[in-house]
Amino acid sequence: MEERITVYVNGQAVEIYQGMQVKHALIALDQSLYEDAQAGRIVVEDHRGFSLGLDGAVQSGARISTNPSS
C-alpha cells in the first residue's frame, strides 16, 4: 500500500503518493503549472531558491514555488 505525503506548491498543500516527482506535485495543484514549467515559462524552486528539475524527487513537507523565468 502506497503512502500519501503532503507537499506545498506555492503555499498550497497537495497530496501525492510517496515516490512521485516534482511534476506530479505541480499537476496535483494545477496542470497548467506543469505545462508552463515544461515550456520554460516558469522555473520551479525549493524553499531555499534552488532550481528543481521536473523529474526530481520530493519528500513529505517539501515546499516548492514557481516563478516566471527570466
CA 57 to chain centroid, in Å, comes to: 9
Grid coordinates given for 8: 506545498
1, 14, 25 from 29: Cα distances, Å: 23, 6, 7
Q: What is the mean pLDDT of the chain?
A: 96
At residue 1, does pLDDT exceed 70?
Answer: no
pLDDT mean over 36-42: 97
Q: For 56-68, write each residue's pLDDT tens digit.
A: 999 999 999 999 9
Q: For 10-21, write each residue's pLDDT tens digit.
A: 999 999 999 999
Q: State whether CATH 3.10.20.30 applies to domain 4-68.
A: yes
The domain spans of the chain are 4-68
